[in-house]
Amino acid sequence: MSLSTHNVSVGYHGKAIVKQVDLSIPEGKIIALLGPNGCGKSTLLKAMARILSPIEGQIHWQGKNIHQMASKKLAQQLALLPQTQPIPEGIKVKDLVAYGRSPYTGFWGRISNADQHIIDKMMQQTGVTELAEQLVSELSGGQRQRVWLAMTLAQDTPYLLLDEPTTYMDLSHQVELMHLLRKLNLQGKTIITVLHDINQAARYCDHLIVMKQGKIVTQGSPESVLTESLLKDVFSLNAQIHLDPIAKTPMCVVE
Amino acid sequence: METRSLPILLLTLVALLIANLMFGAVSLPFKQVIEGFQVGNANYFTVHEYRFPRTILAMLVGAMMALAGALVQGVIRNPLASPDVLGVSHGAGLAAVFYMTFFPNADIDWLPTVALCGSLIAALMLWWLCGQHSSTIKLAITGVALAALYASCIDFLMLVKPLEINNALLWLTGSLWGRGWNQLAMLLPWLLLIPCALWLAKPLNLIHLGDDSAISLGVKASTLRLLSLAIAVGLTASCVAICGPIGFLGLVAPHLTRKLVGGRHQLLLPSTMLVGAILLLLADLVARTIDPPIELPAGIMTAIIGAPYFLWLLFRTK
């Protein structure tokens, strides 16, 4: 078990939002964190990315407390795409993506040929190659999200943490992103993503973790997790579960 | 954009260095300036003892104040931030005015040390009020509030001790008048802060992306912020101690440079030092030559350029 939380409580200003969570992230899967607003799914993700320090408990990477590891070492293992990103002034797309190589470069941040190869590849995979010379501040919200994704991917980590990565994208780019995640997963990456769209999670993710009021309610494959009673309990939704006619995964239809 | 501006900036700097040696109350042709470096030459005093150290000092102070500004703007992530928002210059001003009004007969050579202590105490005050983990907005607002407090204390001192007001006012405008080799020697040890600042170029780029991304890319965000601000305080304090608070340089120079070379700190930090040096050399040149033999303080010149620029910036920023 590479990434695990042990009795972790975490929140803001000493007030716990996530409460005493024990969790082992199944390796090599696409994992979705689901739950209503304020349930603590983003907070838990941030804690795993060591953005937030736990109030109690520990988070372990390969048996070691992540807050006691060298930050550059850990940055070669875990990458995070935050939910919102500031708009840096005077930075070109190609520069921003190159920043993703920071955990590997020396003190002056010089990019090697091998680094450049990875940068080019990730820009291509996220479809931002033709934006390379543009300023990040001039892009649309969806374009910017893809550029940041390329930066996060350039970090080239076995674990990828994404906080609502589809929020600002139109539907076709959302689908493209989920396909890209599938492809990266086949290459061996473990992907943990916060999602709002239950059907998207059921269709593209292997493992769902459902949270409510800072606790994990249930977890497992989409087939085992998504039930009508769960939707009622967690999301206060009256909905039916049907089979997606194409992907044969469970699909929630609201009554 | 990018590196193309560098040669132009370098040429401008060299031209201004020469111009500062040639022009002043008396204009000297280039040949006489060169000859003036020889001991015993008729212009030795004007060139070697007076204009040369002052020109070098203007170059260094301009570069250091601009670098401090770039560091502060880098970690506060706001183009309107500058070392002034840390209250450091006003702290120095208060200490200097206090010294001048209460000890009018004291040795003026101690003034830089007193001002330096004032600015460092102001920095510690800000640190004590905010602590390591407070937000940058809290830091900036606290700094501005403290600066206002120091400014009102300065006004109070000058009102109750009106006899000493002239020296105090002159010092508070920021000037290179009368500064020479002694002051240059005082500044030298502080030049060590420049390589320290350049060392932070890479993590400063990542702070630009927000704390979450920076931490995820392996930067210790709060440590970096503390380190950058401490270096900015050191740079500002040492300059203010020697020349008084020369306004707007730390705000305008980095911002102008970002427009010229972009936001990558590997290029931004060295370039902003060039721009800062150019601005202060220009300000001092104009201040010395506009109405000779009367000299204006360079601080007035930077304010004349800086204040409208700041307003323009403010209206442009949504």
ipTM: 0.92
Confidence of residue B304 (pLDDT cuts 50, 70, 90): confident
Q: Span A194-198, mean pLDDT? A: 93
| Per-residue pLDDT, A128 | 94
**Å between B259 CA and nearest CA of chain A:** 7
Taking all residues of chain B, what is their mean pLDDT, rounded to a whole number? 88
Helix ranges restricted to H, A126-197? 141-154, 171-186
Q: How far apart are CA A81 and CA A153, in angstroms?
A: 9
Nearest CA in chain B to A87: B209
**Å between B209 CA and nearest CA of chain A:** 6
Q: How far apart are CA B211 and CA B193, in angstroms?
A: 25
| Per-residue pLDDT, B277 | 97
End-to-end CA distance of chain A: 39
pLDDT at residue A242 tops 80: yes
Following CA atoms B59, B64, B67, B68 in sequence, which dihedral angle do they give, to the nearest 10 degrees?
-150
Nearest CA in chain B to A101: B217
Are B47 and B21 contacting, i.e. CB atoms less than 8 angstroms apart? yes
Mind listing the pLDDT tens digit for each residue in B95-153? 988 988 888 777 777 888 898 999 899 989 988 888 766 677 788 888 889 999 999 99
pLDDT at residue A1 tops 70: no
Radius of gyration over every alpha carbon of chain A, rounded to an integer in angstroms: 18
- 8 Å CB contact of A85 and B213: yes
Q: Span A39-65, mean pLDDT? A: 94
The two tokens of residue A84 are 């919102």
**Å between A57 CA and nearest CA of chain B:** 20
Domains delineated in chain B: 2-262 (1.10.3470.10)
> Is there a cis peptide before residue B293, judged by omega within 30 degrees of 0?
yes
Mind listing the pLDDT tens digit for each residue in B210-258? 999 999 999 998 889 889 989 999 999 999 989 888 888 998 999 999 9
| Per-residue pLDDT, B49 | 87
Secondary structure of residue B154 in the 3-state scheme = helix
Confidence of residue A163 (pLDDT cuts 50, 70, 90): very high
| Per-residue pLDDT, B133 | 66
pLDDT at residue B79 tops 80: no
- Least confident stretch, A34-43, A143-152, B47-56, B103-112: B103-112
pLDDT at residue A217 tops 70: yes
Confidence of residue A198 (pLDDT cuts 50, 70, 90): very high
Secondary structure of residue B252 in the 3-state scheme = helix
CB neighbour list of residue B131: distance below 8 Å, 6 or more residues apart = none
Of all residues in chain A, the percent with pLDDT exceeding 70 is 100
CB neighbour list of residue B195: distance below 8 Å, 6 or more residues apart = none
Confidence of residue B1 (pLDDT cuts 50, 70, 90): very low
| Per-residue pLDDT, A53 | 92
Phi (first) and psi of residue B169, to 5 degrees: -60, -40
| Per-residue pLDDT, B317 | 64
| Per-residue pLDDT, B2 | 66
DSSP state of B109: G
Pairing, β A56-61 against β A207-212: unpaired
Residues of A with CB under 8 A from a CB of B: 46, 49-51, 71-76, 78-80, 82, 85-86, 88-92, 95-96, 99-100, 102-103, 105, 107-109, 148, 151-152, 155, 161
Of all residues in chain B, the percent with pLDDT exceeding 90 is 40
Of all residues in chain B, the percent with pLDDT exceeding 70 is 98
Among residues A31, A71, A73, the alpha carbon closest in space to that of A53 is found at A71
| Per-residue pLDDT, A156 | 94
Mind listing the pLDDT tens digit for each residue in A83-138? 988 888 889 999 999 999 999 999 888 999 999 999 999 999 999 999 999 999 99
Q: How far apart are CA B30 and CA B7, in angstroms?
A: 23
- Least confident stretch, A218-232, A238-252, B131-145, B180-194: B131-145
Q: Span A211-223, mean pLDDT? A: 94
In DSSP notation, A40-107 reads: SHHHHHHHHTTSS--SEEEEEETTEEGGGS-HHHHHTTEEEE-SS----TT-BHHHHHHHTTGGGS-T
**Alpha carbon A28 to chain centroid, angstroms:** 14
| Per-residue pLDDT, B132 | 66
Are B98 and B157 contacting, i.e. CB atoms less than 8 angstroms apart? yes
Q: Among partner residues A78, A82, A90, which is closest to B213 by beta-carbon distance? A: A82
pTM above 0.80, yes or no: yes
- Least confident stretch, A51-55, A199-203, B22-26, B168-172: B168-172
- Chain A CB contacts of B258 under 8 Å are 89-90
Confidence of residue B20 (pLDDT cuts 50, 70, 90): very high
| Per-residue pLDDT, A86 | 87
Phi (first) and psi of residue B258, to 5 degrees: -60, -35
